[in-house]
Structure 1
Amino acid sequence: MIKSDWIRKENLLPFLLILSHLSSYDFYESDREAIEYGLMGTSDEDNIWFEYKLIGKKTISLRLAKDPEGNLLFYNVDFPDEMKEPMELMDYILSSFSMMPIGL
């Protein structure tokens, strides 16, 4: 199943941590650095995307791109069908609130 939407730039880390948890993937600082680096030069308007896979007990494939102003990140997430409800909840929370994890 594929979900496409957007998140606020400041919600990137919570977004990645939630996806990692849902896929049982051990997310490391090096993952965060690779994704932040990969986002440089992306553009949803120019159809330039960064792709990354979270391979845990379940695999989640990500495509990410910045908007022209850099305040939003557009995403396409390919995930197993049984994750539909948790993904919808995550999408609602991250598009409605500004979040930052505690202790990171």
Structure 2
Amino acid sequence: MSRAWRWEYDPDHNHLTGGLPDHVVTEVELSAGQLVDPAGMGIDDLNSATANEPLADRPPGNACAAAPGGVSHRRDKVREVTTGSSKPVFASGWVLEANLRPLCEVVSDLIGYDFDDADWRAVEHGLPGTDDDRPATDWFLYPLVGRTRVDLRVAQAVGGSVVSIQLLGTADDTLTVQAGTVIRVLSQYGVRDGPAP
């Protein structure tokens, strides 16, 4: 990794600085495996009143009763959720906008890629004009190629100070948990460039 980042805990804007408290590290490690469901959809990102229910217990969207003969006579088209890529989403969520570069650097480090200033300029240039309310295929996509290839897909939350993230590629369980943990931490903690005190 090209920079040293220092974590700052600030959920209530109390501006506490320093390392992550032990209880937070434990909580993040315990919950990291729950951030992405088996289908690769970020559970925390679902915008639904049923977001906390297991996926299998959720009612199907746009459900309708079938007419005789099994024909539903639906007029709306079922929209297939796609990533615009043959690669599965293995981690997703959001991070504070100021934490986007640290996310890029840490994920790159996990796969053995040296994320540098030129990479950052490309991501920084591709982000404006994106909108996370649009289909993910319209988000900015940037490849990170190390021991494995991870496509970073990002979009701004319009009117907010966060960036929605999807990581696409073939990832083993370790990378999936590590990437999910990084996203979770960077959504809750500010980081600052430089060595820890």
Answer whether TM exceeds 0.5 for this pair. Answer: yes
Other structure's SS at 2:191 match: coil
Other structure's SS at 2:163 match: strand
Deviation at 1:33, TM superposition (A): 0.3
Match of 1:67 in 2: 157
Alignment: residue pair count: 103
Deviations for 1:16-39, whole angstroms, at most 9, x for unmatched residues?
110110010011100000000000
Deviation at 1:42, TM superposition (A): 0.5
Deviations for 1:20-65, whole angstroms, at most 9, x for unmatched residues?
1001001110000000000011011133300011001121111100
Higher strand share: 1
Match of 2:102 in 1: 14
| Amino acid aligned to 1:91 | I
Q: Specify the structure having the higher radius of gyration (Cα).
A: 2
Other structure's SS at 1:98 match: strand
The 2-side partners of 1:92 and 1:43 are apart by 20
Over 6 Å off, 4+ runs:
none
Instruction: Indicate the larger mover: 64-73 or 82-91.
Output: 82-91
**Alpha carbons 2:127, 2:155 under 8 Å: kept:** yes
In structure 2, runs of 5+ residues without a counterpart are 1-88
**Alpha carbons 1:10, 1:100 under 8 Å: kept:** no
The 1-side partners of 2:193 and 2:181 are apart by 17
- Correspondences of 1:63-102 after superposition (within 5 Å): 63-79=153-169, 80-82=171-173, 83-102=175-194
Other structure's SS at 1:89 match: helix
The 1-side partners of 2:156 and 2:134 are apart by 10
Deviation at 1:70, TM superposition (A): 4.3
| Amino acid aligned to 1:44 | D
RMSD: 1.5
